[in-house]
C-alpha cells in the first residue's frame, strides 16, 4: 500500500506561514484529514490546518518542543467527532530534514493515543518540515509500526509534488532537449506522475501522444468507444484498419511503438460507470477530453472532493453549408478555489440530466424532448485535427506551467480560450459562485463517501 498526503495550495501556504514564524524555535500544527482509499493507495486529504498556539506550548527551542496535552487532545476530539484522520506537523529549524531520534521516541505515545481516542477507519500520520520544499512524512499504524508517505501533493495555481524518493531513471539522452528547457528535476517528476485521460478521441489521443513523448510514466485511459471511420482523420496512432478497435487499445499500441516505457492502463468504459469513475482516484492529474456534460460533471466534482486537478478542454466549430462561421477552443483548469464548469456555464444541470435520461431510459428521453422538457442532445459535431491538436497542446502547456511556472508568477488564469477564426486568444480567472458546490469550503477534500461523489450511479 502506498501512502500520500494532498493539500490545497491555500492550506499548504497557511501551514508553512505558521511554521516559519520569526525566530528559530520549533512550531507545530495539526491537520484534520479525510481519506481516499483504493487498492493501491491511501491518500490523506487535508481539510483543515489547526495551528498550535503559543499558549499551548510549554517549552520550545530550535531542537525541541513540548506541547500541553490538552492541545492535541482537542484536535483528536475533533477528528473523532468529524470522522477525520489526525496528522501532527512540526518544524525542524535547526534539525534534520526528516524525523529525528527524539521524534522516534515521543511520537509512538502520541499516536497510540490517537488510535485510542479516534474511532473508525482513520489513518494517522506525522510530518516534519525543515523548509517549504522539504516536507517529510510517515504514517503511524495501530500496531506502532510506520510506513513512509511517498508523495505530498500541493494543488492550486501550481502543482507541486514532493516525493520521498524521486525516480531518477529518465533517459538523459532521449529527453535532452526537454531537460535543456525545464531542467532535469521536472523530467523526473514527469516520470513519476500518473495522468488520467478521459476520452481518447481527437483531443484525448493528441494529449496522450504528447504526454508519452514528454516522458510521463503512467497513463490511465478512460474511453468506452471503438474507432469509427470518421475518427481516423484526427485520432493519433489510428489507421483505417483499426475501425471497430477500442480507442484505448490504439493508444496502448502507440505507447508501445514509441518505446519510452510508459505504463498504460486501459479502462474501456465511460466514467459514468462507477468502477471507472472510482479508478480516477489513483491519478495525480486528469485531462478531461470528453465532449459530454455528464462526464464533465463527474470530473468537476472529483477535482473538489479529491484535490485531483482536472484540465478540461473542448473544441466547437460553427459551420453552415460547408463554410466555417467560427472556431473556438477552450482549456479550463479545475482546482479548489476556481470556478467549476457549472459556474462558468460550460455545462448545465439540465444538460447533465438529459444525458443521464438518454443513457438510462431512451424512451423517456424521447418523450421529454417531444414535450420540450429536455434539451436536444448533440449529434456528431464538426471536428478538424488542426483545432483538436492545438487545444490539446494548450492543455499540455498548461500542465507544464503548473509544474514549472514558466509563464511567470502573474499568470494565474484558470481558463484559456482560442478564437481560431479571429487569430486571437484570451484568458480568465473566475471565482466559484457562492451557491455552487465548488464554492463550499465544507465540501473541499471530502474524499470517500457513500454514494461516491454524492451522486447516484448505474453500477
Q: What is the pLDDT of residues 281-329, one digit of tens each?
A: 999 999 999 999 999 999 999 999 999 999 999 999 998 878 888 999 9
% of the chain surpassing 90 pLDDT: 82
Any idea of the CA torsion for 391, 397, 398, 402, to the nearest 10 degrees? 170
The 10s digit of each residue's pLDDT in 412-442 is: 999 999 999 999 999 999 999 999 999 999 9
Within the chain, all domains assigned CATH 3.40.140.10 are found at 2-163
The three cell numbers locating residue 275: 468502477
Whole-angstrom Cα distance, residue 211 to residue 399?
A: 10
Q: Say which residues have a Cβ less than 8 Å from residue 279's Cβ, sequence separation at least 6.
A: 38, 220, 222, 267
Q: Say which residues have a Cβ less than 8 Å from residue 104's Cβ, sequence separation at least 6.
A: none
Q: Say which residues have a Cβ less than 8 Å from residue 324's Cβ, sequence separation at least 6.
A: 317, 318, 421
Strand order in the sheet with 310-320: 263-267, 218-222, 194-198, 285-288, 310-320, 323-334, 415-419, 424-428
Residue with cell 477525520: 84
Residue with cell 500544527: 29
Residue with cell 510517515: 138
Do 340 and 293 form a contact (C-beta atoms < 8 A)? no
Q: What is the mean pLDDT of residues 90-109?
A: 91
Q: At what angle do helices 293-306 and 349-360 cross, to 10 degrees?
A: 120
Q: Is 210 left (phi over 0), alpha (psi -120 to 50) or beta?
A: alpha
Q: What are phi and psi of 87, to 5 degrees?
A: -130, 130
Protein fold of 2-163: Cytidine Deaminase; domain 2 (3.40.140)
% of the chain surpassing 70 pLDDT: 94
Mean pLDDT of the chain: 92
**What's the pLDDT at 323?**
84
pLDDT classification of 157: cutoffs 50, 70, 90: very high
Residue from 279, 125, 130, 139 nearest 196 by CA: 279
Within the chain, all domains assigned CATH 3.40.50.720 are found at 176-454
The 10s digit of each residue's pLDDT in 240-271 is: 999 999 999 999 999 999 999 999 999 999 99
Q: Write the CA distances from 196 to 116, 149, 374, 459, integer angstroms.
A: 38, 22, 31, 21
Q: What is the mean pLDDT of residues 2-24?
A: 93
Do 29 and 67 form a contact (C-beta atoms < 8 A)? no
Tell whether the model's pLDDT for residue 370 goes beyond 60.
Answer: no
**What's the pLDDT at 40?**
96
State yes or no: cis peptide before 94, omega within 30 of 0: no
Of the two residues 354 and 156, the one the predictor is more confident about is 156
Q: What is the mean pLDDT of residues 11-23?
A: 92
Residue from 114, 379, 384 nearest 235 by CA: 384
**What's the pLDDT at 62?**
84
**What's the pLDDT at 371?**
53
Tell whether the model's pLDDT for residue 49 goes beyond 90.
Answer: yes
Q: Say which residues have a Cβ less than 8 Å from residue 401's Cβ, sequence separation at least 6.
A: 407, 411
CA 111 from centroid of its chain's CA atoms: 29
* CATH architecture assigned to 176-454: 3-Layer(aba) Sandwich (3.40)
Any idea of the CA torsion for 269, 417, 186, 178, to the nearest 10 degrees? 100
Residue with cell 424512451: 363
Read off the pTM: 0.95
Do 33 and 5 form a contact (C-beta atoms < 8 A)? yes
Whole-angstrom Cα distance, residue 257 to residue 253?
A: 6
Q: What is the mean pLDDT of residues 106-133?
A: 92
The 10s digit of each residue's pLDDT in 388-413 is: 999 999 999 999 999 999 999 999 99
The three cell numbers locating residue 40: 493501491
pLDDT classification of 56: cutoffs 50, 70, 90: very high
Q: Write the CA distances from 417 to 205, 366, 390, 429, integer angstroms.
A: 20, 34, 11, 12
Q: Write the CA distances from 432 to 35, 334, 412, integer angstroms.
A: 24, 11, 15
Whole-angstrom Cα distance, residue 30 to residue 399?
A: 31
The three cell numbers locating residue 379: 449529434
Amino acid at each position: 500500500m502506498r501512502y500520500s498526503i494532498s493539500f490545497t495550495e491555500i492550506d499548504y501556504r497557511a501551514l508553512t506561514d505558521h511554521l516559519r514564524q520569526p525566530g528559530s524555535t520549533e512550531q507545530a500544527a495539526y491537520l484534520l484529514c479525510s481519506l481516499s482509499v483504493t487498492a493501491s493507495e491511501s491518500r490523506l486529504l487535508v481539510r483543515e490546518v489547526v495551528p498550535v498556539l503559543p499558549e499551548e506550548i510549554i517549552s520550545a527551542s530550535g531542537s525541541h518542543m513540548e506541547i500541553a496535552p490538552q492541545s492535541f487532545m482537542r484536535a483528536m476530539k475533533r477528528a473523532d467527532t468529524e470522522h477525520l484522520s489526525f496528522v501532527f506537523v512540526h518544524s525542524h529549524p535547526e534539525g534534520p530534514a526528516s524525523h529525528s531520534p527524539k521524534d522516534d521516541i515521543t511520537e509512538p505515545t502520541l499516536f497510540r493515543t490517537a488510535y485510542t481516542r479516534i474511532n473508525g477507519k482513520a489513518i494517522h500520520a506525522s510530518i516534519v518540515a525543515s523548509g517549504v520544499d522539504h516536507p517529510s512524512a510517515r504514517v503511524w499504524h495501530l500496531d506502532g509500526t510506520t510506513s513512509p508517505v511517498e508523495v505530498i501533493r500541493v494543488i492550486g495555481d501550481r502543482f507541486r509534488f514532493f516525493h520521498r524518493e524521486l525516480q531518477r531513471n529518465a533517459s538523459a539522452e532521449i529527453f535532452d532537449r526537454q531537460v535543456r528547457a525545464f531542467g532535469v528535476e521536472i523530467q523526473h517528476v514527469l516520470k513519476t506522475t500518473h495522468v488520467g485521460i478521459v476520452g481518447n478521441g481527437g483531443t484525448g489521443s493528441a494529449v496522450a501522444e504528447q504526454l508519452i513523448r514528454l516522458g510521463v510514466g503512467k497513463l490511465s485511459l478512460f474511453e468506452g468507444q471503438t474507432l469509427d471511420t470518421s475518427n481516423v482523420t484526427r485520432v493519433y496512432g489510428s489507421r483505417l484498419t483499426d475501425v471497430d478497435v477500442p480507442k484505448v487499445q490504439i493508444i496502448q499500441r502507440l505507447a508501445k511503438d514509441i518505446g519510452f516505457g510508459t505504463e498504460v492502463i486501459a479502462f474501456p468504459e465511460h466514467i459514468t460507470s462507477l468502477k471507472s469513475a472510482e479508478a480516477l482516484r489513483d491519478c495525480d492529474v486528469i485531462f478531461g477530453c470528453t465532449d459530454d456534460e455528464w462526464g464533465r460533471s463527474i470530473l468537476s466534482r472529483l477535482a473538489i472532493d479529491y484535490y485531483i486537478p482536472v484540465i478540461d478542454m473542448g473544441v466547437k466549430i460553427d459551420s453552415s453549408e460547408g463554410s466555417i462561421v467560427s472556431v473556438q477552443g477552450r482549456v479550463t483548469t479545475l482546482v479548489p478555489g476556481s470556478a467549476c464548469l457549472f459556474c462558468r456555464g460550460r455545462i448545465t444541470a439540465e444538460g447533465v440530466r438529459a444525458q443521464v435520461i438518454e443513457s438510462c431510459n431512451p424512451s423517456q428521453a424521447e418523450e421529454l424532448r417531444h414535450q420540450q422538457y429536455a434539451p436536444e442532445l448533440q449529434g456528431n459535431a464538426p471536428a478538424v485535427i488542426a483545432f483538436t491538436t492545438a487545444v490539446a497542446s494548450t492543455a499540455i502547456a498548461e500542465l507544464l506551467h503548473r509544474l514549472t511556472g514558466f509563464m511567470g508568477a502573474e499568470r494565474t488564469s484558470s481558463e484559456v480560450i482560442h478564437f481560431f477564426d479571429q487569430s486571437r486568444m484570451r484568458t480568465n480567472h473566475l471565482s466559484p459562485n457562492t451557491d455552487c458546490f465548488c464554492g463550499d469550503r465544507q465540501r473541499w477534500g471530502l474524499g470517500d463517501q457513500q454514494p461516491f461523489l454524492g451522486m447516484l450511479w448505474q453500477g
